[in-house]
Amino acid sequence: MTPSPPSLWSPISGGITSPLGYRAAGIKSGLKSSGKLDLALLLAPKDAICAGTFTQSSIRAACVDICQQKLKECAGKVRAVLINSGQANACIGKQAFIDSYRAINDLSDHLGLPTSQVLMCSTGVIGEAIPMQKLLNGLEKLVSSLDDSGGNNAAQAILTTDLVDKQIAYESFVDGRRVRIGGMAKGSGMIHPNMATMLAYLTCDVGVSFDLWSTMIQRVVNSSFNAISVDGDTSTNDSFLAFSSGEPVADKFLEHIEMGLLKTSQHLAKAIARDGEGANSLLEIKVEGCKTSEDARLIARTIISSSLVKTAINGHDPNWGRIVAATGRAGVPLSSDEIDLWIGSFQLVSRGEPILFDRSKVSEYMKEKFNDNYLQNNSITIRLKVGKGKGEAVAWGCDLSEEYIRINADYTT
């Protein structure tokens, strides 16, 4: 019998716990002075494997080192991740390792799992330790709250300066079988390509070998979480963990599964950029015509990270010169007379030279997208063609506003 082709990936409710067998919880344990949810737990099925990518900063939180070590030692055989918000537990010396291991050990006892199968992530203020007794006192309640509909509370519990939670799930039918992918993330400031101050988690109810899963996840990250920028800063705690569990699919369908992983991750990545601290609009940069996709990605990320471009967006100013200038310093060999540039549907540059355009109409287009940063698929789009090559890439970011300065001048969340 000929296998049926997979269906399209369609959004569904449920977030991180939509895939079969996953449970989550989020509670208040007193880690935040605001009294909001601050402790989350994600539990995967028995056969799960986990792959991760982490901050590339040389100054790293203890939990990042612990996660990387555990994933390597156990070939991804991980079932649970504990997440606290409020304190980064970074840059406080050996105490950070002591506290992280203590939390992992206690949680392992509550779950009846070996410590090798439990990870921990932290997010919050750098240089602040976790109030450990409050965290430990909350573990019993956290475990008892685990539920296959607990994704929403978990997504709320990992937030810091975020204005909205970030979660999504997609569903497809692969050879007659329902397959689901779920995700949740946090991130608002300190966001820059190479993993930023973000935490993100993904679940999938298709079984994939650890080596293949790790390779797939790295490709997905490069085109999602490593393609966003809010403010040009990276942090100490950035972590992305992706779980695979369940019956495998035929190899011929793995490309379709990876498409679902990318769709989920790009949704979350754009949600992070859309919720940038003080941001008013989502900015999308499309680069075409490069010799390689990596060249295109480098140009897109350079433009999206430019403070001059971001402030022009904030002022609804179609200042194409700033975009072209950022393109030129991306480190990719280019010929200026091959550059074409559009903002929205308006072309501003052709073959490296300015063309007549109605500045007021372009500015009005930019204004229309302002303050709509929480609407899906609504962004200020800049399209740049730099040659005749087949390499292309997309990056996402946001405008840079005075509100960003206010938020980060007194960050106590």
Instruction: Cite the active site residues.
Output: 197
Residue carrying the six token digits 């304190």: 87
Quick one: which H or E segment has residue 141?
helix 132-144
Q: Of how many residues is the chain composed?
A: 413
**Whole-angstrom Cα distance, residue 119 to residue 287?**
38
Answer yes or no: are the C-beta atoms of 242 and 44 closer than 8 Å.
no
| Phi, then psi, of 124 in degrees rounded to 5 | 150, -150
CA distances, 343 to each of 173, 301, 354 (Å): 37, 17, 13
What is the CA 359 to chain-centroid distance, rounded? 34
| Phi, then psi, of 71 in degrees rounded to 5 | -60, -35
CA angle 343, 223, 381 (to 5 degrees): 10
**Whole-angstrom Cα distance, residue 133 to residue 123?**
18
